[in-house]
Amino acid sequence: MNSGDTAFIIISSAMVLFMTPGLALFYGGMVRRKNVLNTIMSSFFVAGLAAIMWVLIGYTMSFGTDIGGIIGNFQWFGLNGVTADPNPDYAATIPHTLFATYQMMFAIITPALITGALVERMKFSALFVFTALWSIVVYYPMAHMMWGVGGFMREMGAIDFAGGQVVHVSAGISALVAAILLGKRKGYGMTSYHPHNIPLVFIGTGILWFGWFGFNGGSALAANGLAVHAILTTNISAATAMLSWMLVEKIKRGKPTMLGAATGAVAGLATITQAAGFVPVWAAIIIGGIASPICFFAIGYVKNKFKFDDALDAFGCHGVGGIIGGISTGIFAQRSINSYARWDGLIFGDTRLFTAQVISTLITIVFAAVGTFVIYKFISLFMNIRVDDREELEGLDIAEHSESAYPSFLGMD
């Protein structure tokens, strides 16, 4: 047991939890006034639901003894048997309970990312059920396959330092599928949807950027040089992506925007997550630099071309960014930085890691898409998933929660 490592992961756990309120503000600022509380609530409630589920079944299904390379068994149901003693399979220098706590924070924010694609038209009760089922069907198996001892993708040599695939690709792809199935907001394509509070977006971005140091740095599971390296690559990727997005906006639209700068920073953070503890610092500049133009294209062209309503670009930012990050890890990873990687990346003359990364990314895309489709169709058999037209026009703050974020506001929404 190492007290320094333990203190660092306790702090990192708190930082990752803080990201969920940050995400709520980031998303909340981008919707219309009449939907801001519902949007914030859609992230915030997950902190309760996902935490309880994680303690009862999530941790053991994700990290318990392997069953078929897909899922863990129920040996740690209710965290029974998870003690303050270290578990050498996952973290040899911190309490097993702390490792479970740290991983809980990832299980909270991941389904919250999906909500960005579904805002302004999904019933809160349906979202609650969807989140619970998605955690069981998609997230816990994904965590086990990539990080659990005996997990299928871990055994094939794929690497994911802090959740590029487990968190961002799975959430982004699920957001896309769910948004398509849910349908477009009323007036989509004919009505302009403008963020109601960009300073709120900025505050949320700042919290996310801060929390990401615990998200990526803490994934070293020790207060050591690898944690510092992950924090450095994380910051450099976010910084480069922010500037890259501003440059693209300047070229395409004549002016950079605050909303664009915030989106670019988050895209850079999502993209580096898988690679943070494996690639050189100079590679983080390349990864962040290419993240923004590709995500900008996905948001500005692909979404318009195929007419799906990913309201707050959960797929365009997290899904696309996560895919870029997974492939980039296969290109730039170095064993000299982190020997957890079995092979060097493609640029250093070895094709094996690159192949494993591409295959695992494709598996993640298919697994998340199919799982989300099945969950959505199952829920639709028992309840209405979408609010009716009157409620959508009125706004989900009133229709779903009987609350108003700005009760003194008398202007047009």
The whole model's pTM is what? Answer: 0.96
Encode pLDDT of 265-309 as tens digits: 999 999 999 999 999 999 999 999 999 999 999 999 999 899 999
Q: How large a percentage of the chain has pLDDT more than 90?
A: 96
408 pLDDT more than 90: no
Up-side HSE of residue 373: CA atoms within 13 Å toward CB?
Answer: 9
Encode pLDDT of 67-97 as tens digits: 999 999 999 999 999 999 999 999 999 999 9
The domains of the chain, with CATH numbers, are 3-393 (1.10.3430.10)
| Secondary structure (H, E, C), 196-214 | CCHHHHHHHHHHHHHHHHH
Residue 411 has what pLDDT? 56
Encode pLDDT of 192-239 as tens digits: 788 999 999 999 999 999 999 999 999 999 999 999 999 999 999 999
Helix, coil or strand: residue 66: strand
What amino acid is encoded at 267 in this protein?
A
Distances (CA, A) of 101 to 14, 90, 193, 235, 344: 10, 13, 38, 24, 31
Helix (H) or strand (E) holding 131: helix 124-134
Q: What residue has token string 């965290």?
A: 79
User: Do 112 and 42 form a contact (C-beta atoms < 8 A)?
Assistant: yes
CA-CA distance, 376 to 289, in Å (whole number)? 36
